[in-house]
Amino acid sequence: MKKPFNGTDRMHELVMSLPDQLASGARTAGAARIGRAGGFDSVAVAGMGGSGIGARIAQGLLLDRSRVPVYACNDYDIPAAVSAKALFVAVSYSGNTEETLSAYGQARRRGCRIMAITSGGKLGQSAAKAGYPVLAVPAGMPPRAALGHLFSTLLICLERLGVCESQQRGLEEAVRLMRSRRRSWMAEARTIAKQLDGRLPIVYSTSRMLDAVTDRWRCQLNENAGVLCHTSSLPEHNHNEIVGMGRPDHPGRHVVVVALLDRETHPCTRFRLESVLDITNQAYQLAVRLESEGRSRLARIFSLVMLGDFVSIEVARRQGKDAMDIKRIDELKRRMAQKRG
């Protein structure tokens, strides 16, 4: 007898496919006609939610490596600094997200050089009609589960357009590492999910490169597992949030800290992390420290992304939540569409 459809199992399969998506997106972008390299003074990438996180990951990855500033835009408006000399990339899986369409409209009016990454929708239609390069990602997935396609398509376009050095080796290593480690990360995720059970997770980033990864953890815990999650960044946390820890009602028992660490985490930041737990008298009692794996930045970033995605699935299972179900987002989008008329 055919097994009934289970949204969480499907989401799990999609997380498993992340390395294959990375490889496939890179091939698509490698073969696409995207025009000449250079000729722009900044890059702005617009996208929301599951379509926006890839730009933020790329920003963290290229922080000290991009030849021009890279802006990640998650709003209706784009920064004033994005001028006619900018490259603008609109990323929307559905192609129908109103904030991204608004940013795209602004970029067109400013005369930016434009590209779109999408599975279709209004964005796909409009960009194709205007003659802008449209990089197609396969349809039929929840956008957040298509991160591999969306991210590597963007990254390889940026590489080909001269924004950064070749990313091929890092990408290949990331794909290899994820394929060889995915089963053991799944098992590790089960243990972490148990520690998160019934608690509010606070995910700490310990380097600028990891800020977007903590965001990915938060978004996946929100959407897949249906739980609230807070993120924080060290060392900045030590100059404000540390005072509020465990107050006003000492929720410590209900909070679990997940600290994401990387070999580029500053040694002083590591010391700060341990000191925080001590100074606050273990305000949050349980701390899970997770080190990235791999050699290249890309592999290290995606080792923590994939582990976090698995954790969100395991928390969903423990909560009895269908990881596919994001009814509240759908309802909000419906209301916004009604408002537009």
The residues that touch ligand F6R, with contacts defined as CB under 6 A, are 48-51, 92-94, 97, 100, 142-144, 223, 326, 329
Catalytic site residue 223?
Answer: yes
Judged by beta carbon, residue 94 or residue 126, the one nearer ligand F6R is 94
SS3 203: strand
Query: CB 136 → ligand F6R: shortest distance, Å?
Result: 14
Per residue in 171-190, is it b (16+ CB within 10 Å) or e — as a string? bbbbbebbeebbeebbebbe
Judged by beta carbon, residue 74 or residue 319, the one nearer ligand F6R is 74
Distances (CA, A) of 58 to 70, 157, 212, 225: 9, 11, 9, 25
Q: Are 15 and 9 in contact (CB under 8 A)?
A: no
Query: CB 89 → ligand F6R: shortest distance, Å?
Result: 13
* Per-state percent for the chain, helix, strand, coil, to nearest 5: 55, 15, 30
Question: What H or E segment, with its residue span, contains residue 233?
Answer: strand 230-233
Query: CB 141 → ligand F6R: shortest distance, Å?
Result: 8
Query: CB 203 → ligand F6R: shortest distance, Å?
Result: 17
Greatest CA separation for the chain? 61
Distances (CA, A) of 131 to 15, 34, 36, 128, 288: 33, 11, 15, 5, 49
Query: CB 249 → ligand F6R: shortest distance, Å?
Result: 31
Q: Are 196 and 44 in contact (CB under 8 A)?
A: no
DSSP states of 119-150: SSHHHHHHHHHHT--EEE--SSS-GGGGHHHH
Question: What H or E segment, with its residue span, contains residue 114?
Answer: strand 113-118
Judged by beta carbon, residue 11 or residue 234, the one nearer ligand F6R is 11
- The active-site residue, picked from 3, 239, 327, 339, is 239
Judged by beta carbon, residue 144 or residue 321, the one nearer ligand F6R is 144
Query: CB 328 → ligand F6R: shortest distance, Å?
Result: 11
Judged by beta carbon, residue 143 or residue 246, the one nearer ligand F6R is 143
Give residue for tokens 């709003």: 75
Judged by beta carbon, residue 19 or residue 52, the one nearer ligand F6R is 52
Judged by beta carbon, residue 93 or residue 104, the one nearer ligand F6R is 93
Angle at 23 (CA atoms; ends 51, 311), nearest 5 degrees: 60
Q: Which two tokens stand for residue 185?
A: 């990360």
* Residue closest to ligand F6R (Cβ): 49
- The active-site residue, picked from 223, 237, 314, 321, is 223
Read off the amino acid at residue 328.
R
Continuous H helices in 137-262:
147-160, 168-196, 211-223, 241-244
- Omega prior to 235 cis, within 30 of 0: yes
Query: CB 108 → ligand F6R: shortest distance, Å?
Result: 18
Active site residues: 223, 239, 333
